[in-house]
């Protein structure tokens, strides 16, 4: 992405990479495709940003491609992300409830096995 600071700033978001903890920039290019970039910090003089290739950053870019596909308007981004957060919160609630049910069932089975073992000893 050669020296396009003015074009790139309104078309993306900065964040910390979940894998390497570096600051990255998720950018929506001219074709609408989201990609992760990292600051160049003097690696070459031609580019201000280089592609960031950690698996987590590539996944984040793919998520943004789903949330804001090519042709999306920036104004649509907030309600879409808000809805996605609500959906994920619902998934978490359901997963936690399933885990609690599984733990309770395991505890009941363990109690039943213990009671059965006690009765066979008597």
pLDDT tier at 102, thresholds 50, 70, 90: very high
User: What letters, b where the CB count within 10 A reaches 16 and e where it falls short, cover 69-78?
Assistant: eeeeeeeeee
Cut 0.85: pTM above it = no
| pLDDT tens readout for residues 13-24 | 888 898 888 889
- DSSP β-ladder status, 23-28 and 49-51: unpaired
Give residue 1's pLDDT: 37
pLDDT at 9: 56
- Contacts of residue 60, Cβ cutoff 8 Å, sequence gap at least 6: 15, 18, 26, 36
* Residues 50, 71: Cα–Cα separation, whole Å: 24
Over residues 51-77, the pLDDT tens digits come to 898 888 888 888 888 888 877 887 888
Contact 52, 42 (CB under 8 A): no
Q: Give me the torsion for CA of 78, 80, 85, 90, rounded to 10°.
A: 150
């Amino acid at each position: 992405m050669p020296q396009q600071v003015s074009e790139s700033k309104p078309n993306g978001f900065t964040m910390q990479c979940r894998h390497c903890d570096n600051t990255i920039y998720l950018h929506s290019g001219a074709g609408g495709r989201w990609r992760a970039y990292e600051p160049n910090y003097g690696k070459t003089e031609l580019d201000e940003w280089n592609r960031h290739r950690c698996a987590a950053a590539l996944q984040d870019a793919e998520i943004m491609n789903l949330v804001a596909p090519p042709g999306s308007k920036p104004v649509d981004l907030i309600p879409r992300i808000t809805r996605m957060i609500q959906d994920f919160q619902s998934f978490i609630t359901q997963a936690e409830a399933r885990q609690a049910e599984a733990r309770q069932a395991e505890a009941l089975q363990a109690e039943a096995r213990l009671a059965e073992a006690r009765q066979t000893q008597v």
